[in-house]
């Protein structure tokens, strides 16, 4: 009949689904559903209605983890490096500015054509006068962001948001060998929290700062201190927005993070940069050996690096307000430190804060 033959695959082959595809599709759909739930919670909070805590079950967390967020984050990172044509830069960046409320008047370079790619735009520097560093208070905010929680650490548990906690030891990992720090430690028989407190009469405090996509993405030293050790935890890259932090217990312990520990004038001090979806890149300026979001990693693993050496007995000294590192997009900073009992935070949960503003003082 001179008609062309049309070859079709067997029905069983056409509709055969692989487990990976099912997990990605299901996990992605569920992640979208959670985003919608988070939006509803935000609207209720804006109206002053308190939302009860509803934690995710193990299967919900496993389903969320099935989404290949690490792969997507690496893909996003490569996309960010693509140089945009000059004519396209202003429309793309203007859309981002409008969506996330970016204040470009604070940027060191306001001309949008200057930024060759999205990565440069995310990591834009600010005008020197845009963020004056408070000289009165002993601890300042290391970044722009939203205060999720703060206060005194109790019973080896830290609050990521009100009513949802995570284990201090799981978050920081096993205690660092004494010889790598400048101060003595409590005996091994004490709790992990007591081992971190080095001076009698001191307490352990914490503060959690969430960086939204529209915030300034660099972070700075929150006080005068010395960094002695770095611990890198490869892990998941789940979203860390307040809605997800309220939903998943120990969210920060699941995610990739870089823990910097050392000491300040009152004893133990640590700053942790927590990764998130599309934030596979965490950069510490003085640490060239750090590489985050590696394609392969062992679940539950971590790697240590000491800044104490034969040539450097002191570690890395950091001045208050000094540039420390940067994220791509937005994420979370967690401070855990030792201070006398009369230390007071000058904060309110949920408030917006900018780099250089006071967190607390004695």
Residue 12 above 60 pLDDT? no
Residue 11 domain-assigned?
no
Asked whether the CA dihedral 152, 153, 158, 164 is positive or negative, the reply is negative
What confidence score (pLDDT) does residue 139 get? 94
Q: What per-residue string of b and e applies to 11-24 under the rule 16 or more CB within 10 Å gives b?
A: eeeeeeeeeeeebb
Report the number of distinct structural domains present in the chain: 1
pLDDT in tens, 229-274: 999 998 888 888 777 888 888 888 888 899 999 999 999 999 999 9
Instruction: With beta carbons less than 8 A apart as the criterion, state whether 308 and 315 touch.
Output: yes
Q: What share of the chain is helix, strand, coil (3-state, %, to 5)?
A: 30, 25, 45
144 is catalytic: yes
What confidence score (pLDDT) does residue 189 get? 55
- Which parts of 54-142 fold into alpha helices (H)? 58-65, 69-81, 86-100, 118-122
Question: CA dist 157 to 21, 167, 206, 325, Å?
Answer: 37, 5, 10, 27
Which domain covers residue 310, as residue numbers?
Answer: 139-176+192-361
pLDDT in tens, 139-185: 999 999 999 999 999 888 888 777 788 889 999 998 876 555 555 55
Q: Beta strand pairing status for 358-361 and 139-140?
A: antiparallel
Residue 152 domain-assigned?
yes
Residue 4 domain-assigned?
no
Residue 329 above 60 pLDDT? yes
The active-site residue, picked from 119, 239, 270, 331, is 331
Q: What token pair was written down for 313? A: 């007995």
The active-site residue, picked from 206, 217, 220, 266, is 220
Burial class (CB in 10 A: 0-12, 13-18, 19+), 313: exposed
Residue 295 domain-assigned?
yes
Question: CA dist 202 to 172, 194, 198, 232, 362, Å?
Answer: 19, 10, 8, 27, 12
221 is catalytic: no
Residue 250 domain-assigned?
yes
What confidence score (pLDDT) does residue 1 get? 46
The active-site residue, picked from 38, 144, 215, 263, is 144
Residue 218 domain-assigned?
yes
Q: What per-residue string of b and e applies to 159-195 under the rule 16 or more CB within 10 Å gives b?
A: bbbeebbbebbbbbbeebeeeebeeebeeeeeeebeb
Supply the mean pLDDT for the chain.
Answer: 81
Order of strands across the sheet with 323-327? 218-220, 323-327, 282-284
What confidence score (pLDDT) does residue 8 get? 46
The distance from CA 328 to its chain's CA centroid, rounded to whole angstroms, is 10
Q: pTM for the full model?
A: 0.81
List, as own/partner pairs, every contact residues 11-14 make where C-beta atoms lie below 8 angstroms and the sequence separation is at least 24, other chains included.
none
What confidence score (pLDDT) does residue 11 get? 45
Residue 20 domain-assigned?
no
CA 147/CA 348 separation, integer angstroms: 7
Element (H, E) at 10: none
Residue 108 domain-assigned?
no
pLDDT in tens, 99-143: 888 899 999 999 999 999 888 888 888 998 888 998 888 899 999
What confidence score (pLDDT) does residue 32 get? 59
Residue 209 above 60 pLDDT? yes
Sequence-distant (6+) residues with CB within 8 A of 12 are: none
306 is catalytic: no
């Amino acid at each position: 009949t001179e008609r062309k033959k049309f070859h079709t695959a067997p029905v069983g082959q056409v509709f055969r689904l692989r487990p990976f595809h099912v997990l990605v599709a299901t996990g992605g759909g569920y992640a979208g559903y959670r985003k919608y739930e988070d939006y509803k919670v935000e609207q209720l909070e804006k109206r002053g209605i308190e939302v009860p805590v509803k934690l995710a079950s193990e299967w919900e967390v496993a389903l969320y983890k099935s989404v290949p967020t690490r792969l997507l984050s690496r893909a996003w990172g490569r996309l960010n490096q693509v140089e945009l044509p000059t004519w396209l830069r202003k429309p793309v960046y203007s859309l981002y500015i409008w969506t996330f409320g970016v204040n470009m008047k604070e940027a060191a370079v306001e001309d949008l054509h200057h930024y060759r790619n999205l990565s440069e735009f995310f990591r834009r520097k600010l005008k020197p006068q845009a963020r004056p560093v408070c000289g009165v208070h002993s601890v300042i905010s290391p970044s722009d962001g939203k205060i999720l929680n703060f206060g005194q650490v109790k019973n080896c548990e830290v609050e990521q948001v009100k009513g949802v906690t995570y284990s201090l030891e799981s978050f920081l990992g096993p205690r660092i060998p004494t010889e790598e720090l400048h101060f003595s430690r409590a005996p091994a028989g004490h709790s992990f929290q007591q081992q971190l407190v080095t001076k009698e009469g001191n307490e352990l405090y914490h503060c959690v700062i969430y960086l939204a996509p529209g915030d300034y993405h660099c972070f700075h030293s929150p006080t005068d201190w010395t960094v002695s050790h770095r611990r890198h935890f490869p892990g998941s890259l789940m979203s860390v927005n307040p809605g997800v932090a309220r939903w998943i217990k120990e969210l920060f312990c699941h995610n990739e993070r870089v823990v910097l520990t050392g000491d300040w004038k009152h004893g133990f001090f640590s700053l942790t940069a927590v990764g998130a979806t599309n934030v596979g890149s965490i950069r510490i300026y003085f640490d060239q050996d750090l590489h985050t979001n590696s394609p392969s990693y062992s679940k539950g693993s971590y790697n240590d690096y000491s800044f104490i050496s034969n040539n450097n007995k002191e570690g890395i000294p950091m001045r208050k307000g000094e540039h420390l590192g940067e994220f791509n997009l937005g994420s979370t900073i967690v401070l855990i430190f030792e201070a006398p009992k009369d230390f007071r935070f000058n904060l309110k949960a949920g408030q917006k804060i900018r780099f250089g503003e006071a967190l607390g003082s004695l």
